[in-house]
Structure 1
Amino acid sequence: MVRKQPSRADAALIAAARERGAAPTPTQLERWRAAGLLSRNEQHGAGQGRGSVSTVPADALNLVVWLSAHARPGRRPADLALEAFGAGLPVPEPTVRGAWLAAAAPRLDALLEPEEGADRSDWIADIAQEVAAKHSGKSVLLPQRIREIDARIGAAGIPFVLPELAPFDKGTYETEPYTSRDFLTMAVSAALGGISELSEGDLAAVARAMVPSGAAVPVASMLEYPDEGPKLADINDGHGLTLLPAGDARADLNRIVTKASLAQLRAAWLAVDDMHRWAVSLCDTVEAELDALAVGEPLPECPGLQQWFLGIAFGSNRLLVRQALLEPTPSMTARTSTAVMLLFLATGMSRLRVMVPGSQFELLSVLLPPFLYQLAELVVADLPASLRPADSA
């Protein structure tokens, strides 16, 4: 088939790319536009009845040079879109959001919605059990490096029950060991049913399973013995928005991704790299401190061990280290899924500041790793003025 000659705008774009060492063809430009990776040229009237002329969108040259280097047979357009977007290139927004939304609401095997009139809770339980039975053998609760560091801390005679935190943990009433299958069952139930399919006890069991035996875990104790405090499912903003998803969590994740600004999405994407660097650096620091203690070297401060124990006490940091070590080189889809998780956590913190005003949120800068704190601050800064917490004004 005879192809028409490229427009003047495309010819100029190809020539400029060749000056940068790239060699795109007119066919490639057509293919990238059809895949949503490259915006189409803008049409403008030539004036005085002379028809129209096309111009290349701003910054298209950088994207074309990048695509020439990275696009190859077998690479999915969605993966290219995500990687180029993360690099700060002008990928069309609908393509970017589509790839993010696909990661926010992944398919769970051949998941089918329940039949009309069927009990959704029973359906969720069946699906969770099925997925857990299929994948539990491939999953671990804690990566080996975390377990080894915990073992070294215990062997060094450092107690996991910190005196400052001991009064805030009443002890667990759970007696059954928590397994990777239990974790997967809980994760799938939470994804399909939100907080309505979980109890505070379920979440407490996860918090205790993620830490060394006998550690003081105030967060788990608060969940197991809520006293007069509000249940997690009841924390809301008074306008129908709950702190944790009340139903299918994928719908909430879709909503978060849809409403997030491109700046937030890019920040969450970059935060995945920061999370991996932070997790590895934390492990390196703790191991170096343990090496020094083992040879009797005096250490007036142990910032690594302090952060390690914060993760044990409050849970979220521990889960982030776990995630980073389990996927040191994530695929594009896995990386985006992790970025969605980080954006979910940051959004939850911004919601909490609105729903529970007056709490000591100034401590977040100390308790959270820098990448998550910065992402949470970005989310808060982008909230409408009516929803922005007073302490961020």
Structure 2
Amino acid sequence: MVRTAPSAADVGLIEYARSHGVEVSARQLERWRGRPDPLLMPNPRGRPGRPGGSTSSTDLAVGELVVWLGRRQRQGSRRDHLVLGAFGEGLPVPEASVRSAFARTVLKPAAEMSTTLGPRAQRQDLDDWLADGADRIATDQQHYVVRVPQRMRAIDKALQQMPALADLWDDMAAHDDDSPGEPLDNAGMAYYGALGVLQGTEGISREVMGRFLRARTGITGPNLGARVLETSGPAMPPALQGPPAHLVPGMPQGSVLHHLYSLAQETPMERLRAAWQAAGAVASWALNLCAAVEEQIATGRVGPAIGQWLKGLLYGIGRDYLTIGLVESEPTPSQQASTTLMLLFTASAFDTGLERATDQNVREALEFLVSTPVRPLVTGLADP
């Protein structure tokens, strides 16, 4: 039971919801304001001599949130999912709750990795500790490495056999004819993926980074992105340069998770919402691109969709988002939040690269490589 009679403001919210066909109680409002991570802010206090609450636009916005919650709240509903869903709709859910929900998509895997990593033994070399932990994580995860979905593989194979692209493949192969190594297998992918998350790219050779990207791409043909990593690419991605604003407890200093966690905590709310919306569009983009490429393959004509596909296939840029879109065609709010942070991380890397590019050719190359899902979030583009 509610401990006191509902305030005038709460009565107004209840009546507002009822006018929209939604029944909520004062007790529900109280639960939604419960901590941690409340779904509703406390009602604003009125001035002395005046009743609390008002019919201001702010109250109407809160009323819309109450209606939204009332239509979706049910036994067992995850609070994080309600927070993220309301945030995505532009409703006034408390900012701290939103940031906590995004942060948990980083903190949960971090806690699992920290447990597997275990405490660092006295006098144990840092590299040995990280390598041992990555090996244990890889042993647990090597059978769950997400490879390229079958639909993407079928399209890749068809493009490699397409007569209209024969000259292109010959030309690309000439630029990548002496690769230093084969793509990594599942165990190698799991190990270096875990090591990369734990310590960033520090201590991982260019050759291994190239082999990792070749495996992520999923074809045995030329991979110019891997070639750049193996020869002349930056030793550390721009998005990992500089100290993160926030640290994830239990993670080594160089962990990528610090940067993702910082994005959850620091990204302006409007930009966070824009990235959330972009993440929500990844599945439809991936499915539409697959369909468009398949249609162009059937006609034997190379069009813009094939051009976009080849950019990802030859450089490895954006392929992860194709995979995510196909594997998570109906993402949960937590999955969408995770993709949101990935998009922001990728956009940050491109913005840093564009900001530092002094050569026009380098700048044009970077602009060319920005994939469609990331493009709306890269502020440094001449033509977003």
Q: Is TM-score (shorter-chain normalized) higher than 0.5?
A: yes
- 1:16 to 1:209, Cα distance in 2 relative to 1, 3 A: same
| 2:165 is equivalent to residue 192 of structure 1 | no
Q: CA deviation at 1:361?
A: 3.0
Q: Which amino acid aligns with 1:233?
A: M
Q: Which amino acid aligns with 1:92?
A: P
- 1:365 to 1:21, Cα distance in 2 relative to 1, 3 A: farther
Aligned residue for 2:247? none
Distance in structure 1 (CA, Å) of the matches to 2:253 and 2:358: 21
CA contact (8 A) 1:217 1:313 kept: yes
Distance in structure 2 (CA, Å) of the matches to 1:320 and 1:11: 46
Q: Deviations over 1:284-341 (max 9, x none)?
A: 1111112223xxxxx3x42222222111121112222122212222222222111111
Query: Which TM-score applies when normalising by structure 2?
Result: 0.85
| SS at structure 1 position matched to 2:147 | coil
CA contact (8 A) 2:347 2:378 kept: yes
Distance in structure 1 (CA, Å) of the matches to 2:314 and 2:365: 14
Runs of 5+ unmatched residues, structure 1: 294-298, 382-390
- 1:240 to 1:103, Cα distance in 2 relative to 1, 3 A: closer
Distance in structure 1 (CA, Å) of the matches to 2:326 and 2:102: 23
Alignment of 1:139-158 (within 5 A): 139-157=145-163, 158=165
Once structures 1 and 2 are overlaid, which stretch shifts more, 89-98 or 116-125?
Answer: 116-125
- 1:126 to 1:333, Cα distance in 2 relative to 1, 3 A: farther
Aligned residue for 1:375? 377
1:128 aligned to which of 110, 127, 134: 134
Q: CA deviation at 1:363?
A: 5.0
| 2:288 is equivalent to residue 281 of structure 1 | yes
Runs of 5+ unmatched residues, structure 2: 245-251
Aligned residue for 1:258? 265
CA contact (8 A) 2:317 2:371 kept: no
- 1:355 to 1:199, Cα distance in 2 relative to 1, 3 A: farther
Q: Which amino acid aligns with 1:68?
A: G
1:114 aligned to which of 106, 110, 119: 119
Alignment of 1:62-81 (within 5 A): 62-81=64-83
Q: CA deviation at 1:358?
A: 3.3
Aligned residue for 1:18? 18
RMSD: 2.9
Distance in structure 1 (CA, Å) of the matches to 2:63 and 2:354: 42
Q: Aligned pairs, how many?
A: 366
Distance in structure 1 (CA, Å) of the matches to 2:242 and 2:195: 25
Identity %: 29
Aligned residue for 2:34? 34
Q: CA deviation at 1:212?
A: 5.5
- 1:364 to 1:275, Cα distance in 2 relative to 1, 3 A: farther
Q: CA deviation at 1:364?
A: 4.9
Q: CA deviation at 1:11?
A: 0.5
| SS at structure 2 position matched to 1:74 | coil
Alignment of 1:351-366 (within 5 A): 351-359=352-360, 360-362=362-364, 364=366, 366=368
CA contact (8 A) 2:200 2:240 kept: no
| SS at structure 2 position matched to 1:4 | coil
Q: Which amino acid aligns with 1:302?
A: G
CA contact (8 A) 2:46 2:53 kept: yes
Query: Which TM-score applies when normalising by structure 1?
Result: 0.83
Distance in structure 1 (CA, Å) of the matches to 2:129 and 2:168: 40
